[in-house]
Amino acid sequence: MPDEKTGRADQFPPILRVFEKHQQLIHRHAPSFIRHVLERFRQHTLDAPQACSELGLSRSRLYALATAYNAARARPQPLWAPGTSGGDHAATWPQPVLDLLKKRLACTPPCPYSFAASEALRLHHFKLDRAQVRRWALENNLAHAFPPQKVLAAVRRWQRAQIGELWQLDASPHRWFPHSKLSFPMLNMLDDCSRLFTGSKIYERELLLSYFDFLPAAFLAHGRPLQIYVDYHSIFFTNDPDALTQLGWALKFYDISFLYAPTPQAKGKIERAHQYWQGRLPAYFASEKITEIEIANPEIDALRAHRNTREIHRELRQTPQRAWDQARQEKRSALRPAPRCPWWDYVWSVRTIIKVGSDGRVPIGTQRLRIQTPPGTKVVLCLHPSGHQSVLVAPPDPKQKPALLFTNRPK
């Protein structure tokens, strides 16, 4: 295996070197000498570095032998002797998996090792660890450059006890596509308790319509949370503490409120989620030659589903989906279902008050269309995320039903 710093390769792969060292122990030292060293180590007359030096073993292998030796002393049996290694019984990696690893690691930028292992499981149902992929990459001259030392993360905030109690939401502008100089924002949202990604999508620009498209889809798929954790972006916050933005008003209409992060460091979970996607997606898109948002977003949905259901979260030590399901079973859920509301499509739209002209027409796009309302009447023009427009008699009110005057929504 090539060394990270020197780039030199040993003669044998890692698993065979472990086997070789074990056989050297058996052939170099007699069992009585090994028992003598382990007994001195047990009696603390010999420390671990000295015992490792005498036997020519690593510290981990020394402790493994000492554990077996001490267990044998506790039982009446013949003199203990170290067993022989069974050799390398690892399964041969299928050729499609090897081809996939070459494809993911040879692109520019290369995929992270953990993502390459995740792709082997997602596409070929072949389980690999990050360390296995890294060793393979080192042996096949596909290893990453030595990474710079990372800055230590800030102290992590505690997590909520219930799913749906708090969802973290943020946008991450980044150059997602290969050879593109344009940065596109990616909206990410995750559950603070289970770390489940409830939504991830790239948009051309971070507009109010982008959030009106992103949020209701997450609510329909997973339910409504109590609060959404955001920063002080103008889409979320106004200088008047008693006023709400259009997005804040839409969320309040369905009993959801904002919680504002005091500092960028306070949003550690969602910031690490951005790093997760920034490390994987540019390499994935370069590998698959994806250059358009319309093609990228369905791929992101598949990757997000795999991450939620198959990848172990290092802090939770289980998949986010399992943590989510476990919270439901333990009745630790603050989620509410998305309501069957006639106002749903109009609440999630950009609304503008307009006045009907003297000719009985209103401006819709580049045209002036006639509606059945007296001239001079004020009506509500709704611009929907899909691009179509509607005209209402009055703005959304939970005590009334919508009165639709016009829509150019395609059938």
Same domain, 109 and 85: no
Question: Where does a domain end: 269, 303, 329?
Answer: 329
With CA atoms as reference, report the closest residue to 86 among 26, 154, 160. 26
Residue 156 has pLDDT above 70, yes or no: no
Higher model confidence: residue 10 or residue 197?
Answer: 197
47 within domain boundaries: yes
Residue 151 has pLDDT above 80, yes or no: no
With CA atoms as reference, report the closest residue to 194 among 337, 336, 333. 333
pLDDT of residue 407: 87
Residue 14 has pLDDT above 50, yes or no: no
Q: How confident is the model at residue 15 (pLDDT cuts 50, 70, 90)?
A: very low
Higher model confidence: residue 40 or residue 15?
Answer: 40
Same domain, 177 and 311: yes
Same domain, 20 and 118: no
Answer yes or no: are the C-beta atoms of 335 and 223 closer than 8 Å: yes
Same domain, 317 and 373: no
In total, how many domains does the chain have? Answer: 4
Same domain, 104 and 10: no
Same domain, 264 and 124: no
Residue 122 has pLDDT above 70, yes or no: yes
CATH number at residue 248: 3.30.420.10
Residue 20 has pLDDT above 50, yes or no: no
Same domain, 135 and 232: no
pLDDT of residue 4: 41
Same domain, 13 and 53: yes
Q: How confident is the model at residue 55 (pLDDT cuts 50, 70, 90)?
A: confident
pLDDT of residue 69: 86
Q: What is the 3-state secondary structure (H, E, C) of 15-26?
A: HHHHHHHHHHHH
- pTM, whole model, 2 decimals? 0.71
Higher model confidence: residue 151 or residue 339?
Answer: 339
Q: Name the range with the highest mean pLDDT among 141-145, 217-221, 394-398, 405-409.
A: 217-221
Q: How confident is the model at residue 238 (pLDDT cuts 50, 70, 90)?
A: confident
152 within domain boundaries: no
Mean pLDDT, residues 216-224 taken together: 95
Average pLDDT of the chain, as a whole number = 85
SS3 100: helix
128 within domain boundaries: yes
pLDDT of residue 207: 93
pLDDT of residue 25: 55
Q: How confident is the model at residue 190 (pLDDT cuts 50, 70, 90)?
A: very high
199 within domain boundaries: yes
Angle between helices 293-310 and 320-329 (to 10 degrees): 60
Sequence-distant contacts of 339-345: CB under 8 A, at least 24 apart: 339/254, 341/254, 341/398, 342/401, 342/402, 343/253, 343/396, 343/397, 343/398, 343/402, 344/216, 345/384, 345/390
Question: Where does a domain end: 297, 329, 361?
Answer: 329
Residue 13 has pLDDT above 50, yes or no: no
Mean pLDDT, residues 232-253 taken together: 87
The token pair that represents 337 in the structure block: 């279902």
Same domain, 100 and 214: no
Residue 9 has pLDDT above 80, yes or no: no
CA-to-CA distance for 303 and 105, rounded, in angstroms?
Answer: 17
101 within domain boundaries: yes
Task: List helix spans (H) across 157-267.
Answer: 208-222, 246-253
159 within domain boundaries: no
66 within domain boundaries: yes
pLDDT of residue 86: 53
Same domain, 325 and 184: yes
Answer yes or no: are the C-beta atoms of 392 and 405 closer than 8 Å: yes
Which helix or strand (DSSP H or E) is residue 115 part of? Answer: helix 113-124
Q: Name the range with the highest mean pLDDT among 72-76, 178-182, 235-239, 321-325.
A: 321-325
Higher model confidence: residue 343 or residue 241?
Answer: 343
Same domain, 280 and 171: yes
Instruction: Look at strands 166-174 and 184-191 and give their pairing.
Output: antiparallel
Answer yes or no: are the C-beta atoms of 373 and 357 closer than 8 Å: no
CA-to-CA distance for 221 and 199, rounded, in angstroms?
Answer: 9
154 within domain boundaries: no
Same domain, 318 and 224: yes
- Name every residue whose Cβ is closer than 8 Å to that of residue 370 and which is 6 or more positions away in sequence: 359, 360, 361
CA-to-CA distance for 25 and 57, rounded, in angstroms?
Answer: 8
CA-to-CA distance for 74 and 63, rounded, in angstroms?
Answer: 17
- Could you tell me the residue range of the domain that residue 56 belongs to? 1-90
Answer yes or no: are the C-beta atoms of 373 and 397 closer than 8 Å: no
Answer yes or no: are the C-beta atoms of 202 and 173 closer than 8 Å: no
Q: For 25-43, how does the pLDDT look when each residue is reduced to its tens digit (9 = 90+)? A: 555 567 888 888 888 998 9
| Percent helix, strand and coil across the chain, each to the nearest 5 | 40, 15, 45
